[in-house]
Amino acid sequence: MNEMSNKWIGKNTIRPDGAEKVTGRAEYAADTTMPGMVWGKVLRSPYPHAKIKSINVEKAQSLKGVYSIATSKDCVDFPIDSPVILGIQDMRWMSRNVLAKEKVLFHGHPVAAVAAKTEEIAQKACELIEVDYEVLPWAIEIDDAIKGDAPILHDFIKHNNKSSNIAGTLEHSKGNIEKGFKEADVIIEKNFETAAVHQGYLETHACLVSVAPDDKMVIWSSSQGQFMVRAMTSYITGVPQSNIRAIPAEIGGGFGGKTIVYLEPVAAILSKKSGRPVKMVMTREEVMRASGPTSASKSTVKIGVKNDGKITAAKGIFYLQAGAFPGSPIRGAAGCCLAPYEVPNAHTIGFDVVSNRSKVAAYRAPGAPIGAYAVECVLDELAEAIKMCPLEFRLKNAAKEGTQAVHGPKYPKMGYLETVQAALVHPHYKLPLQKFQGRGVASGFWFNAGGESCAQVNITEDGNVVVTTGHPDIGGSRASIANITAELLGIDVGRVSVLIGDTATIGYSNLTGGSRVLFASAMVVTESTNEVINILKERAAQIWDIDKDAIDWENGEARPAGANAGKFKPLSLAEIADKATPTGGPIGAGHQVNTVGAEGGFATHICDVEVDVELGIARVIRYTAVQDVGKAIHPAYVEGQLQGGVAQGIGWALNEEYIYDNKGHLDNPGFLDYRIPVCSDLPMIDTVLVEVPNPKHPQGVRGVGEVPIVPPLAAIANAIYNALGKRFYSLPMSPPKVLERLEEN
């Protein structure tokens, strides 16, 4: 496709969900109701760690207005010591996270649930459930969980042949690090810590589930994957997938946090037992206490360089909290941290640590910001030690096409180098700074993903287009798919409607995660649209009674070509659609593919901060995010993704943290004391979209949604150092911490 001739690809077309959202018409999960519906509420553990000896629901059951009660006894019984893998999740953990079985493993862990006429009655009934607990010692922080006499969460999990809270490790090696460090002129090794942070989506988890007497189930819920909801609910309840129809609602933010289920299987059990549709809506406090934040971490990074700036060796050790069940994103930390660089000798290792906190869930480039934070801060120190500009230093070590990455692959064409070059020449990088202001830079990488996607492209009887895909639109996929379809068909984008199908109306599509959606769905939509174009040409050939190959599709119409050129008046899409029935029936095509070739994304950020040195408040005053976005199909949405990632990174770096009290309870389960940034905390976040098209994609698309949260933690830490001459090795860099540091010496 010729770049210059693009009419819709690369244009900021009007977002298809805009009018519905701003006029309050868009339906979110909590907006759904059904006749006869009742309300579900969850009883949660008052302890961070305890054995469940018995649960007595008699009193609750006999409360007037109570319809049904669910406990783990109603779930499929997965033995705790054998894996039940579904994608990157394990259903034996998922079922125990949804309803605790042998033990409660964190404060807020669901123990039972009640469906009742009103939320108040359900709540009251929860209070009447008698649970006999044997309270156990608990561990919240990583150090407490990995020390010798730590209380063990899962006895059968072994590390070095001993029961342990270290549930797994992941390693990457390249070359010989001993040799590499020997070659280095300067070596810097530092320890870092980050706090657990929540995705902070505005819409809390919600669902409505209706199980009919014939066991057919309909689920309306807010998630990042209706097929994920169907599969997990099927596993946990034992109802076959063919009996479950999962309908995706509009979603009020997910950022990875809605890639697993919390409520749907519980509501399904309550509905099945009561014969009533059951609605459940979490409060913000429940979201904070019991849905996944991402891991807190502890890491050690050591990097050696030659005086000329060449990296000779790098080593990274990352401990990540998983919460109550194994599965922290150690792959993101150990795998992404060195990805932007050509490192001849490297070893990275991640440790998956369980402790008595809520199970972590994916959060935008899971694990990658943690790894990049440590590596990019050490690189900043090295650049300073060898007196090199930190961007020049990165340029010198930049990975390029052909580089063997530490995490495995040999890179195809990719644009890391271009992001550093663009940052170097950006006016921001040269702006003068005032007193107590500082500038920092950092880079970052995210794998991106492909995977299963389906699409159906149908031509309506009046000659317009309806495209159905199978993943919830969180970042602009509908607008981008409309752009691509309109471009391929040569018609006005306003004639294309893009819908998200439910599990009964479109084939299996993997969830919205890993920055995969536009990459994957553009592939299947392109194939489907090209097939539709072929059909349209065939129909025109029939109408004109000439050979199909003698027809071109151009500008939304079939034109006779070659020897027939000019012989017939071109047939528009509408004219062909009008004759669809006599020429062979409805026109449409669908494709279902396991997409491959999702290449990684790279970014380099420049950040300026200003510190109020009397109060310890650091504020970001200027920010530029440069990213290789492959091809920006809808630039405004791409820019929005970059800005959103940076905004969340700023919160992570400066203020957000899970704070626990001495009883093992989360002490700040709400937006008052869990401080995500508000608008006035942020500067205008400038973006530079570098476009190095992904050679393995028809439109050159790379995932763009996750990379932008990777560099900010280090960019901000480096900027604060530049402003104050003091380095911070632990996040968040909140005012009391900054002031304390400033008062030292």
Partner 1 sequence: MIQGTFLTPNTIDEAVKFFSSSEGSVKLLAGGTDLLVQIRNGFTKPDKIIDIKNIRELQEIIDNGNGSFTVGAAVSGASLAEHNKFGKNWPGVLEALRLIGSEQIQGRASLGGNLCNASPAGDSVPALIASGALAKVHGPNGIRSIPVEKINLGPGKTNLQKGEIVTQFDFPDREPSSSDSYLRMIPRTEMDIAVVGCAVNISMDGDKCIDARIALGAVAPTALLVDQAAKIIIGSKLEDDVLNEAAKACQNACKPIDDKRGTITYRKKVSGVLFKRAIQIAKERALKV
Contact residues for partner 1 (CB under 8 A)? 119-120, 614-617, 619, 654-655, 659, 667-668, 672-673, 675, 677-678, 680-681, 734-736, 739-740, 743
Task: Please give the structure tokens belonging to residue 391.
Answer: 């961007």
CA distance linking residue 687 with residue 642, whole number of Å:
7
φ, ψ at 164 (rounded to 5°): -155, 160
- Token pair in block for residue 416: 């890391």
* Of residues 710 and 731, the one with the C-beta less far from partner 1: 731
Q: State the nearest-atom distance from the C-beta of 667 to partner 1, in Å.
A: 5
Cβ–Cβ < 8 Å for 666, 631: no
Smallest distance from partner 1 to CB 298, Å: 21
The answer to whether the Cα torsion of 245, 249, 252, 255 is positive or negative is positive
H-assigned helices in 89-165: 91-98, 119-128, 142-146
Neighbouring C-beta atoms of residue 449, cutoff 10 Å: 18
CB of 118 to partner 1, least distance (A): 8
Cα–Cα dist 585/47, whole Å: 63
Query: Which one, 225 or 651, has the nearer CB to partner 1?
Result: 651
**Residue 177, phi then psi, degrees to nearest 5:** -70, -30
Residue 141 or 342: the one with the smaller Cβ distance to partner 1 is: 141
- R_g of the chain computed on alpha carbons: 27
In angstroms, give the least distance from the CB of 107 to partner 1: 16
Compare residues 117 and 306 and give the one whose CB is closer to partner 1. Answer: 117
Distances (CA, A) of 260 to 14, 249, 478: 31, 15, 22
Sheet holding 297-305, edge to edge: 166-174, 346-354, 311-323, 297-305, 186-194
- Rounded to a whole number of angstroms, the minimum distance from the CB of residue 42 to partner 1 is 15
Q: Beta strand pairing status for 685-690 and 617-628?
A: parallel
Measured from the CB of residue 173, what is the shortest distance to partner 1 in angstroms? 41
DSSP letter at 223 equals: -
Of the pair 565, 615, the CB lying nearest partner 1 is at 615
Nearest to partner 1 of 149, 743 (CB atom)? 743
Closest CA to 697 of 456, 414, 473, 416: 414
Q: Which two tokens stand for residue 731?
A: 């996040």
Q: Closest separation between CB of residue 81 and partner 1, Å?
A: 38
Which of 623, 642, 735, 668 has the alpha carbon at shortest distance from 198?
Answer: 668
Q: Which is nearer to partner 1, 32 or 734 (CB)?
A: 734
Answer for the pair 627, 687: CB distance below 8 angstroms, yes or no: yes
Q: How far is the CB of 651 from partner 1 (least distance, A)?
A: 10
Min CB(116)–partner 1 separation in Å: 14
Closest CA to 523 of 690, 705, 702: 702
Question: Closer to partner 1 at the Cβ: 46 or 556?
Answer: 46
Nearest to 317 by CA among 146, 138, 149, 449: 146
Q: Looking at beta carbons only, is 664 or 677 nearer to partner 1? A: 677
- Our CB check for partner 1 shows the closer of 574 and 613 to be 613
Nearer CB in complex with partner 1: 121/479: 121
609, 720 Cβ separation under 8 angstroms = yes
CB of 140 to partner 1, least distance (A): 14
State in angstroms the smallest separation of the CB of 673 from partner 1: 6
